[in-house]
Chains A and B, each alone.
Chain A
Amino acid sequence: MTASTSRMKRRLTPLIAGLSIGAIALGGCSADSSAPADGQLEDTLNIVQYRVLNSFDPNIESNQSAGRIAEEVLEGLTTYVWDDQEQTYVIAPELATEWELTDANTWRFILRDDAAFSDGTPMTAADVVASFDFIVGAEKGTYKSLFDAYSVTAVDDHTVDVSSEVPDEAAVPGLFSLFRVYSADQLATEGAAALGSEPLGTGPYMIESNDQGVSTTLVYNPEWWGEEPSLKTLNFRYITEASTRVSELNAGSADVIDTVPPVLESQIEANTNLELLVEPFAGRRMILFNTNGGPTADEALRKAVNYAVDRDEIVAATGGRGYPLYGTWTEGEAGYDEDYVSYEYDPEKATEILDDAGLAGTSFTLTHQEGEETDETIALIVQEAMAAVGVTVNIESGPSSTVLTEFTSGQRAGAYVSNFAAIYPGEELLLSLHLTDNGSYSAAYGSPEVTALATELRSTIDPDERLAIIDDIQTQAIETEALWAPMLGYPLVYGVAAGLEWTPRQGNKYNFEDATFNR
């Protein structure tokens, strides 16, 4: 070794050593990461979910994954609870204790008198009216569209009337499970922006901190009217990468993760400290057909698609957690029947229908949203199935903002792989979008017969009568007209730490106030 080499080595060695020691020390200083995470305490839960909560304003952020955090803070007039006997969701009181139809166009809600916002201000009818005005007063938004057809007035401090143009509208109590009651005082003093970032609510939890788009911490709201929850602190973080979410769960720095892809389930199942929680969900994937033009305007082709596709193959190809869907309704919805089969898998029948209709050798375009693996899988299976019966399916994909808009506006012919999950267990939302000839998709497809049934449903309150109409809608839409080729129903899959006793709800609520965590 030369003298210069030796000197260079002497100079570099401390540098390298220093960097190494620094890295190790810093790693050691991150003892917070290896020390017991907050979730190991029984009153704190760390939740990592896929979707980001951007805003508590439902006109800005209305998707279910964000809404279920918001609805730990903000409450509606009613809520949905699972009925074990009926195996479906039923409406239950929340901020309203009772409701009745006082005349053909008016529902009267009696508000509870023990509800208060987290700053101690009692909740009154004025807050409900102010919240309604805030929601429908927006320039645009999902909730504005949902509630725009109604009006809300205060009768007294604890009574509000909801008026509808449609007589005997049965959907109102259920729809107001989605509603959010904000503080009129906060709206007046802090403005609408505050309602989107850190709203005061009447729910079991209140916002301790909200780093928009990054993390949200909720703590128990001592003003809540319900039973004090076991879990006092909920730490929400948003991680879009599924493998990172699973790693967080495996490392113990998350107690609950959502949206576990089938390919990663085994990692959770292999860890005895973790469990997979599979819950019913109103998620469905179906093929929509543009019935206003092109080959898919022909009912025979649509029925052939229904016969030709093996839905069990789709379930297997998409991870095995879902179930074959043959109708319009999914698990937990009133019209769902697990034994219902509209079109038995029968490629020969499909071929026969096509031959009789002179459609052998025809082709159509099937579009799906780019980047959605499940949609792509379904499209490929449909393509293969139709090829087997002599029909060519050309698959196209693109950003949702482009292809979905093209399809809903009627500009895109053929079929579309669609994904729909109701944000509350009410049939009217689905019918306001799909199947009717006055819904959002009506430029692409819609049925006057289904529209008539949907109109009748809106004014039907009796549960048995509603169920009969819901069945008729399914029969008309699927069996008679084949407006859809329903493909797949799928549950929600969570990864959870062992010891967490928790029943997530299908609708907009996580329901952590009823959970307990014994680590």
Chain B
Amino acid sequence: MGRYIARKLGWAVLTLVVVVLLTFVLLRLTGDPISEGMAAGGASPEEIAQARQALGYDRPIPVQFVDYFTGLFVGDFGTSLQYGGPALTIVLQRLPMTLYLAAVSLVMTLALAIPAGLMAARRPGGWADRIVSAVSGVMLSVPSFVLGAALILVFGVSLRLLPISGAGQPAAVILPALTLAVYPAARLARIIRASMVEVATMDFVRLGRAKGLPEGTVQRRFVFRNALLPVVTVLGIQMTFLIGGAVVVEAVFAWPGLGGLTTSALSSSDFDVVQTIVLIVAIGVILINFLTDVAYSLIDPRIRYS
């Protein structure tokens, strides 16, 4: 296991270096964050050139990159052009809100998907299975921004039950989290259903029943546990998506997370903030993948890493 972790760490570091480099270069290929803003504000070409020089944007990109990369090791992630403060501080201020939304969304996903998947798997082809299949099909088809707007109109405007936007009240997380949870819940319900149906036909399950074990024990210990691996995979993917900040949903609900910050940083060419977000998200994705691997080994003792 130690060698496995060391190997994972090595790959993680390499991945992060590549991510930082690619992001840095791609952003700078889009142009110069100084010129457009200053030109729109009435600056002369000489003033723009002066500002570019003062802020180091006139240097070759490799030189800029080395300067930026070495700064990371001392905690200097650059300065936000739109906020005027350290980019890392601004990103870390928004990160908890994204994690919170992701966590609530994950709980909702499981709360919707597991019962639905179990009910559908109980009797394949039965009425519950058909209902779950139909409903999940609809849920998979509706775009998140349409669903979000619909939930706002119903629960926020018509019924006035829930806050529409922002994060100023505890209940404000419900609508955006639900919007984010619907699609993966539908997908997960189907996966649980298919996985359990498949596992239920296996010999060890029949053996369990033959040994006289209660059906609930058979379902829980043999069927559900063995059907969990694909579930963990889907959940891992869902978390990596949410960590990056669900841009559309955060925009619809004005949720103060990384998604909204990414949008505003990109539109205002706030390169340092964008790079910091990408780096933080990359770290999050690597961490989630690692935890997913660990979860695999916990669920299935046959899986061991070395």
Could you tell me which A residues sit within 8 Å of B by CB distance? Answer: 2-5, 7-8, 11-12, 15-16, 19, 23, 26-27, 29-30, 32-34, 52, 54-55, 57, 60-62, 139-142, 144-146, 148, 193, 196-197, 211-215, 237-241, 243-244, 247-248, 250-253, 399-402, 404-405, 408-409, 429, 432-433, 438-441, 443
Binds A, one of B4-12, B250-258, B276-284: B250-258
Residues of A contacting B162 in the complex (Cβ-Cβ under 8 angstroms): 27, 30, 33
Q: How far is the CA of A27 from the CA of B178 in the complex (A)?
A: 13
**Of B44-52, B131-139, B191-199, the one touching chain A:** B44-52
CB proximity of B118 to chain A, nearest CB, Å: 7
Minimum CB–CB distance from A210 to chain B (whole Å) comes to 11
B216 CB-CB contact with A under 8 Å: yes
Range, interface on chain B: 35 or more
Pair A237/B254 contact, Cβ less than 8 Å: yes
Q: Chain B 86-98 against A: per-residue CB contact (8 Å), 1 yes, 0 no?
A: 0000100100000
Q: Are A405 and B35 in contact (CB under 8 A)?
A: yes
Q: Is B264 an interface residue (CB 8 A)?
A: yes
What are the interface flags for B165-188 relative to A under an 8 Å C-beta threshold, 1 for contact and 0 otherwise? Answer: 111111110100000000000000
Interface of B is mostly: helix
Question: What are the 5 closest A-B residue pairs judged by CB atoms, nearest first?
Answer: A4-B215, A142-B41, A30-B171, A140-B51, A239-B254
Cross-chain contact B160 with A33 (CB below 8 angstroms): yes
| Given A55-B83, A145-B47, A440-B43, A405 and B169 contact (CB-CB distance below 8 Å) | no
Question: When chains A and B are docked, how far (Å) is the Cα of A5 from the Cα of B83?
Answer: 58
Q: How far is the CA of A197 from the CA of B80 in the complex (A)?
A: 13
A8-B122, A32-B169, A401-B269 in contact; A433/B42 too (CB < 8 A)?
yes
Contact residues in B for A212 (Cβ distance below 8 Å): 83, 90, 93
A281 to chain B, nearest CB (A): 17
- CB B209 to nearest CB in A, in angstroms, measures 10
User: Which residues from 35 to 80 on chain B have a C-beta closer than 8 Å to any C-beta of chain A?
Assistant: 35-45, 47, 50-51, 54-55
> Taking the nearest CB of chain B, how far is it from the CB of A370, in angstroms?
10
A247–B39 CB distance below 8 A: no
Cβ–Cβ < 8 Å partners of B82 in chain A: 54-55, 60-61
A241→B251 contact, CB < 8 A: yes
User: Which of A23, A244, A433 touches B174 (beta carbons < 8 Å)?
Assistant: A23
State in angstroms the CA–CA spacing of A251 and B155 once bound together.
Answer: 10
**Known pairs A16-B115, A211-B256, A408-B39; A7 contacts B170 (CB<8 A):** no
Once the chains bind, are A26 and B174 in contact (CB under 8 Å)? yes
Contact A193 B42 (CB under 8 A): no
Q: Is the CB of A213 within 8 A of B55?
A: no
B208 within 8 A of A: no
Chain A residues, CB < 8 A from B171: 26-27, 29-30, 32-33
Question: A247 near B152 (CB under 8 angstroms)?
Answer: yes
Q: Which single member of B30, B50, B253, B263 contacts A401 (CB below 8 Å)?
A: B30
Q: Are A5 and B38 in touch, CB under 8 angstroms?
A: no
User: B230 contacts the other chain (Cβ, under 8 Å)?
Assistant: no
Whether the Cβ atoms of A402 and B164 lie closer than 8 Å is no
Q: How far is the CB of B273 from chain A (nearest CB, A)?
A: 11
Residues of A within 8 A of B55 (CB): 139-140
Asked if residues A29 and B170 are in contact (CB atoms below 8 Å), the reply is yes
Which residues of A are found within 8 Å of B40, using beta-carbon distances? Answer: 142, 404, 433, 440
What 19 additional pairs, Cβ within 8 angstroms, besides A33-B172, A54-B82, A244-B254?
A8-B216, A12-B119, A27-B162, A32-B163, A145-B41, A213-B260, A214-B167, A239-B165, A241-B252, A241-B254, A244-B152, A247-B149, A248-B164, A250-B157, A251-B156, A401-B269, A402-B31, A440-B39, A441-B39
**Does the CB pair B166–A30 fall under 8 Å?**
no
Which chain B positions have C-beta within 8 A of A251? 156-157, 160, 164
**29 A-B Cβ contacts within 8 A?**
A11-B216, A12-B119, A27-B174, A29-B171, A33-B172, A60-B81, A60-B83, A61-B82, A140-B51, A142-B38, A142-B41, A145-B42, A146-B41, A148-B47, A213-B83, A214-B166, A239-B165, A244-B253, A247-B164, A251-B156, A402-B30, A405-B36, A405-B39, A408-B35, A408-B36, A409-B45, A440-B42, A441-B39, A443-B45
Contact A237 B219 (CB under 8 A): no
Q: Does B214 contact A (CB under 8 A)?
A: yes
Instruction: Give Cα distance in the complex from A33 to B159, angstroms.
Output: 11
A4–B156 Cα distance when bound, in Å, is: 41
Q: Is the CB of B31 within 8 A of A405?
A: yes
In the complex, the answer to whether B39 meets A404 with C-beta atoms within 8 Å is yes
CA distance A356 to B155 in the complex (A): 64
Q: Is the CB of A429 within 8 A of B42?
A: yes
Cα A11 to Cα B224 in complex, Å, equals 15
Q: Are B36's CB and A400's CB within 8 A?
A: yes
B185-230 residues with Cβ-Cβ distance < 8 A to A are 214-216, 219
Residues in B whose Cβ lies below 8 Å from that of A32: 163, 169, 171
Contact between B164 and A253, CB atoms less than 8 A apart:
yes
Q: Is the CB of A215 within 8 A of B166?
A: yes
Q: A5-B122, A401-B31, A440-B43 are in contact. Are A57 and B115 (CB under 8 A)?
A: no
User: Are A27 and B161 within 8 A (Cβ)?
Assistant: yes
Q: Does B84 contact A (CB under 8 A)?
A: yes
B232 contacts partner chain A, Cβ-Cβ < 8 Å: no
